[in-house]
Amino acid sequence: MTDGLTDGLTHANIEQTGPKGRRSGREAVTQAPLPAPTLRQAFAQPAAFTLLAFGFASGLPFLLVGGTLSVWLRDSGVGLEEIGLLSLVGLAYSLKFLWAPLMDRLRLPLLGRLGQRRSWLLAAQAVIALALVGMALITPATQLAVFVLITVVAAFAGATQDVVVDAYRIEIAPAPVQGALAATYMLGYRLALLVSGAFALVLADHLPWTSVYLVMAALMVLAMLLTLLAREPVPAAPSAEPRDIAPVARLAEGVIGPFRDFFARFPAAVGVALLLFIGLIKVPDQLLGVMALPFYLDSGFSKTEIAAVSKVFGVWMGIGGAFLGGVVVVRLGVTRALLIAVILGALSNLLYLALALRPGELTLFTAVIAGENAAGGFLGAAAVAWLSALVNQRYTATQYALFSSLVTLPGKLLGGLSGYLVAGVGYAAFFVLTTLAMLPALALWLWLRRRVQLDTPASG
């Protein structure tokens, strides 16, 4: 950045008080003061436009190895059993924390001169582009084994790109502007989902799938050019490891170090409570998400209405909510913004209660989707900014990958039971229960707010 917002940025440290230097009964984790940015500084900084492009690059391969791919496979005559199994390649996005230490500790040969982040990003994007070309040139119905292998490579590279982009975003700017960067990143990501989803399907009605995937590969090549033009971030706390340390020892430190560092900065009950809170942030949203589409159908809406309102209009409302979340983070700080986001995200589930009582009303459906998606976008931006503030930049890629995976894990596990819950209590009671699911996260926030301070301390 060129506006000086990164000056004086330091990592969180444990502030201890008490006689003769002993710890008091209550510890608070704080950061050194940072200058408060204006909205113009936050949203008009060069990094915001870079994250818009990187968000698009991150979102592009997600559906190309997922939902869009399943349509291509079905058109090619591949059986439903094989399509279902191939969907498992998406697990790469849930397991990316397993190889995230490589992005923090391993320096790539040749490309390494671009910097730790840009070199890995360029490498991942090159693999994605080549994999998409490979998928385009292979006929799935007759060469399925080779096609699956290339798809796995594409998914692995896409998840790797996500890890590096998250690390880049955290290191390119301090916590007060992370909400703005999260908003622009989410804008790019959601636009990419429209391109690789709806636009790709429209193209496939007029062009062969080979051409569709070659177009997507060309877009990834464009992202590679933007990566070359981007600025390499300078971590606030460069690694203190000797440069001649053995690669195996460096990688071992990259695996163990993030956990040791986290519990050193957030010891004992504070660290455990933080991890629990991270896992509970989005549980109401994730519980609802599993049952949303069945509820729309059961409410009497056609697939066309669901697509238009939920998948197109809803996307733009989510983008608007993300930008609002970014503004609130800049104005109020990450901690208070997250509290507002968690409450709004849960309360938005009650909008579905109105639709359950008055099913089939398209105007009400549109209003419900508007409110729920806006609240979800707000929560996404605030959560990204808050999680970013927790990260020690010695382990940016690894710690953020762990945090982001933890955010999704409890909701996915509980979401598997949501169908039984709806069958037992009905939709109306289900929506109320998903709203009440925010209470454990709210209780933990109240307990943590004085013990973990991630915003600029008030003067005096």
- The full set of domain ranges for the chain reads 39-234, 258-448
Q: Quick: pLDDT tens for 159-174.
A: 999 999 989 988 887 7
Residue 66 CB contacts under 8 Å (≥ 6 apart), including other chains: 87, 90
Q: What CATH class is the domain 258-448?
A: mainly alpha
Q: Which CATH superfamily, name and number, covers 39-234?
A: MFS general substrate transporter like domains (1.20.1250.20)
The CA distance from 246 to 238, in Å, is 18
Helix (H, G, I), strand (E, B) or coil at 109: coil
pLDDT at residue 302 is higher than 90: no
The torsion region of residue 24 among left (phi > 0), alpha (psi -120 to 50) and beta comes to beta
* 279 in Cβ contact with 406 (< 8 Å): yes
Under a CB-based contact definition with an 8 Å cutoff, are residues 337 and 180 in contact? no
CA separation for the pair 149, 247 (Å, rounded): 29
Q: How far is CA 269 from CA 263, 282, 438, in A?
A: 10, 21, 21
Give the pLDDT mean for 191-210: 86
Task: Give me the pLDDT at residue 69, please.
Answer: 83
- Give the pLDDT confidence score for residue 122 in this predicted structure: 95
pLDDT on residue 187: 86
Please give the model's pTM, rounded to 2 decimal places. Answer: 0.72
**What is the CA angle 413-416-420, rounded to 5?**
135
Q: What is the per-residue pLDDT across 236-275, written as a single tens digit (0 to 9) for each?
A: 544 445 555 666 666 677 778 888 888 889 988 999 999 9
Sign of torsion, CA 399 400 401 403? positive
| Averaged pLDDT of the chain | 81
What pLDDT score does 412 carry?
Answer: 67
Instruction: Tell which residue, 175, 451, 445, has the closest CA to residue 333.
Output: 175
Neighbours of 108 (CB within 10 A): 15
List beta partners, residue 15: 28
pLDDT band at 56 (very low <50, low <70, confident <90, very high): very high
What residue spans of 113-236 are helical by DSSP H? 116-136, 144-172, 178-194, 200-204, 209-229
d(C-alpha 91, C-alpha 99), whole Å: 13
Would the CATH topology of 39-234 be identical to that of 258-448?
A: yes
CA distances from 80 to 8, 70, 75, 150 (A): 56, 9, 11, 19
Q: By percentage, how much of the chain surpasses pLDDT 70?
A: 83
Categorize the per-residue pLDDT at 137 as very low, low, confident or very high, splitting at 50, 70 and 90: very high
Q: What is the pLDDT of residue 307?
A: 76
